């Protein structure tokens, strides 16, 4: 058995927002990887965790150890000196790789940057369990829906002018100040952009500091209006009346109906599309199956659609209040020079952070071989569709089978090749999270 390329058995989380039973990609992948797992058709299967996080550590098949334990024993071999020096740990990966299967909306949330993460952890370690930041990237495995970032200021203005329930909460004074003060199409970093952000913050702060009884009453009125006069909301976005009603069924009369449905971008990702969630930007996942990669942190500041702790003061103070259209939230895949061969596409999703990138490789049903030059850091690969084999390049003794849901660890400085079977309906799709300093 190679200690440079080996299979992982990954654990899962049964959070209540997950898809139920075998409808969940998480459940399907876990079961395919380990047939002894019995799927409970009454339970939600929300997240598959791939990595070294101590909460749900991945098991290294054949070693009788977790990946975290293996790395702790052989940090130079499995992380590499550059990664250890850069991220300061000789026992864990700087990223956590996940599959999420989402049936119900997750809480509207934002994550602190490194400086704020350290402050919050020092002040309140119960609610902020570490001192790190948590940038995230989501890639759609099935068609996906989410909230991501504030809408452009002109859309927020139109919403304030159209939806009386929101305007009543914000009040005439702030609504008028917003209308007169904003500048559409302001260039990032200019005084106009700074003013726009300050005005969005005023609106958001007023909303988030409104008492629960006022929100409850306004939310009932909002939902009723979306049912009785859907055309008013459809002028803003054809999807909005149905969205408000669907979110209300999941979280009745919640503040998220205002801060999510009315103020944030409603993003649809087609299979294979991706978005990056910057630190200090609000977002939420609504439904679908996604590959998610993030920095190894659990720090979350919540805003709505949650029964959990909401830290309104820190949330209002910390957000960037950037406001851009939906298309700006999506990531553009790039070619990747270390991947070459027969794959239909091998696309790099490279967010503007150091902890991770993700490589998506797709073969069509005719199969073929893709060779990956050695990466400078560790990586984890999951197959989300199809079958084939993987091996260290030039070493047939390391060849192992790849099936849907199988997960592999690849050590630094290890070239591998992936061969897709030509006996399948749709071809083979893999995602590979990695770090290179």
Distance set, CA 1 to CA 34, 392, 401 (Å):
19, 11, 14
Please, are residues 412 and 2 in contact by the beta-carbon 8 Å criterion? Answer: no
* 283 marked among binding-site residues: yes
Q: Which two tokens stand for residue 318?
A: 């910390």
* 340 marked among binding-site residues: no
Residues 6+ apart with CB under 8 A from 224: none
Would the CA dihedral through 95, 65, 406, 412 be positive or negative? positive
- 302 catalytic per annotation: yes
Please, are residues 423 and 330 in contact by the beta-carbon 8 Å criterion? Answer: no
* 111 marked among binding-site residues: yes
Catalytic residue, candidates 7, 68, 197, 302: 302
User: Per-residue b/e over 4-18, b at no fewer than 16 CB within 10 Å?
Assistant: bbbbbbbbbbeeebb
Q: Measuring CA to CA, which residue among 286, 291, 274 is closest to residue 349?
A: 274
Element (H, E) at 295: strand 283-295
Please, are residues 273 and 159 in contact by the beta-carbon 8 Å criterion? Answer: no
* Cα–Cα dist 146/266, whole Å: 6
Residues identified as active-site:
302
Q: Please give the annotated binding residues, written as ranges.
A: 109, 111, 136, 283
Q: Please give the annotated binding residues for Zn(2+), written as ranges.
A: 109, 111, 136, 283
């Amino acid at each position: 058995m190679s200690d440079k390329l080996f299979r992982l058995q990954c654990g899962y989380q049964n959070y209540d927002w997950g898809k139920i039973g075998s409808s969940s990609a998480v459940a399907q992948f876990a079961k395919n990887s380990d047939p002894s797992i019995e799927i409970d058709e009454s339970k939600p299967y929300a997240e598959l965790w791939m990595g070294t996080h101590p909460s749900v550590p991945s098991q290294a098949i054949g070693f009788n150890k977790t990946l975290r334990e293996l790395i702790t024993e052989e940090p130079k071999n499995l992380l590499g000196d550059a990664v250890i020096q850069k991220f300061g740990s000789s026992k864990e990966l700087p990223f956590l790789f996940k599959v999420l299967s989402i049936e119900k909306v997750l809480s509207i949330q934002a994550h602190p940057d490194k400086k704020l993460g350290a402050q919050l952890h020092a002040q309140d370690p119960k609610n902020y369990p570490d001192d790190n930041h948590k940038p995230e990237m989501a890639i759609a495995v099935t068609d996906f829906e989410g909230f991501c970032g504030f809408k452009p200021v002109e859309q927020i203005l139109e919403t304030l002018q159209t939806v009386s329930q929101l305007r009543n909460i914000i009040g005439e004074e702030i609504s008028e100040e917003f209308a007169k003060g904003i500048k559409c199409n302001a260039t990032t970093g200019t005084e106009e952009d700074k003013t726009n952000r300050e005005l969005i913050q005023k609106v958001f702060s007023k909303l988030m500091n409104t008492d629960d009884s006022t929100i409850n009453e306004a939310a009932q009125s909002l939902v009723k209006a979306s049912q009785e006069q859907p055309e008013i909301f459809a002028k803003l976005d054809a999807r909005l009346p149905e969205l408000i009603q669907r979110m209300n069924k999941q979280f009745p009369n919640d503040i998220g109906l205002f801060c999510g449905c009315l103020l944030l971008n409603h993003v649809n990702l087609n299979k294979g599309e991706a978005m990056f969630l910057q630190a200090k930007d609000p977002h939420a996942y609504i439904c679908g199956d996604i590959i998610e990669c993030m920095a190894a942190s659990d720090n979350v500041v919540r805003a709505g659609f949650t029964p959990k702790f909401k830290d309104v003061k820190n949330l209002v103070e910390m957000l960037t209040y950037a406001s851009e259209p939906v298309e700006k939230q999506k990531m553009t895949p790039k070619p990747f020079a270390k991947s070459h061969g027969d794959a239909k596409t091998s696309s790099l999703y490279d967010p503007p952070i150091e902890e991770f990138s993700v490589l998506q490789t797709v073969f069509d049903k005719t199969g073929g071989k893709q060779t990956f030059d050695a990466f400078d850091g560790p990586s984890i690969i999951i197959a989300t569709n199809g079958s084939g084999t993987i091996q260290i390049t030039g070493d047939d003794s390391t060849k192992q089978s790849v099936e849907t849901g199988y997960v592999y660890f690849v050590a630094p400085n290890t070239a591998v090749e992936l061969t897709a079977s030509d006996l399948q309906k749709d071809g083979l799709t893999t995602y590979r999270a990695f770090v290179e300093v």
